[in-house]
Amino acid sequence: MRKTLGLLLILLSIQISAQTFSLEQLNGFNKLTMDEFKKEMKQQKFKFYDRTEGLGFLLTEYEAPDYTSKIGKFEYKEEKSEDRIEFEFRDKKEYDQYLKLILAAGYKETQKGKIITKEPYIDYYKNKEHIRLILPKAGESIPYTIIVFK
């Protein structure tokens, strides 16, 4: 009971701190079609930011009304298991809250490294569920990113 209450308070504090999403919401966005995702972002009052079509994927991004966060949905044409949600935000406090939620949900740290653009990352797994937290580059204070893989 106490653990559940603590997790609920953390969830509520993340929801109050900014226009952000719970881990369950981010994971749920992976299950939506692109059209459903677009409708959901409009309901959340996020504004269209950009659309990128690359070799084998489509990325659609939306920005929060206060410009403090951005969310994107990657859809891959061939390898659907690569689909993912990427949520970018500017607050270390929010990053720490997400980390607490990830660990409380039973995810285990599995790997550290740097992505191609040199930002450090930490991967977390629970069963077959995969979350990646990306920190700002050395000497920079933003952005923080959470990627929820399908």
pLDDT at 78: 87
pTM reported for the whole predicted model: 0.83
CA distance 31 to 49: 21
Which residues on adjacent β-strands are paired with residue 86? Answer: 72, 147
CA terminus-to-terminus distance, the chain: 30
CA distance 50 to 131: 23
Confidence of residue 19 (pLDDT cuts 50, 70, 90): very low
CA distance 117 to 125: 23
Closest CA to 78 of 101, 54, 97: 54
pLDDT at 10: 47
Q: What is the pLDDT of residues 112-121, one digit of tens each?
A: 999 999 999 9
Q: What is the pLDDT of residues 36-54, one digit of tens each?
A: 999 999 999 999 999 999 9
DSSP 3-state assignment of 79? coil
Contact of 71 with 46, CB cutoff 8 Å: yes
% pLDDT > 70, the chain: 87
